Amino acid sequence: MKLHAIALWIIGPLAVGAASTLLGASAAKSKDAVVRDTASLGAAERKHLETLPGRAISDAAWALADVDTARKVLQRELDRLPESDGPARARTFIRFGIIDPNPDGQAAVFSLACVEDPSVCDRMKEAGERETVVRLVAPGNHLPLSLLGGHP
């Protein structure tokens, strides 16, 4: 009789509580897709995602801001980007070069981009065009002469 009471009053509610914990856990997983899906990614992917807000900020500055603001934000992005992210660092250097008023400065910065991402070395003009298209204000919304081949 005593065992029956223990099962009924203690073990039973505890078992129901434990089962409900599992139910609650699975319901919470589907509560917020962004939280759930981000948590399910690997560490390297999550690390990469952490760079995206900075990239979006830099892209916004590149698209709309004056050259001084754009340069400041590009510099901060460069400081933030890991050495291992060569293509992103190269893109940032190309943007720097495009808004550099000095042709010699442009050449120096483009060569840094080439070091960061060797795949752009032979296609610097195309890489530059991709960046000038997304800059919506001058200067920097047209290819510099050094990339057009018009500079001696």
Partner 1 sequence: MQRGLLAAAYLGAALVGYLLGGEQAYRRALAASSAAARVGFALRTSAPVSAQLGYDVERVREELKADERDLLDLVVATRGLTRGGEPDWAAAEAVCRSNGHLRCDRPALERLRLGSYR
Size of the site for partner 1 (CB under 8 A): 55
- Cβ neighbours around 81 below 10 Å, total: 20
In the complex, minimum distance from the CB of residue 88 to partner 1, in angstroms, rounded to a whole number: 11
6 binds partner 1 per the rule CB under 8 A: no
Residues 125, 57: Cα–Cα separation, whole Å = 24
> Where does this chain touch partner 1 (CB under 8 A) — which range of 4-12, 90-98, 106-114, 115-123?
4-12
Q: Binding to partner 1 by residue 142, rule CB under 8 A?
A: no
Interface with partner 1, residue 20, by CB under 8 A:
yes
Is 125 an interacting residue with respect to partner 1 (CB under 8 A)?
no
Any contact of residue 41 with partner 1 (CB under 8 A)?
yes
Bond preceding residue 144 cis, omega within 30 of 0:
no
Cβ atoms within 10 Å, residue 73: 20
**Which amino acid, residue 149?**
G
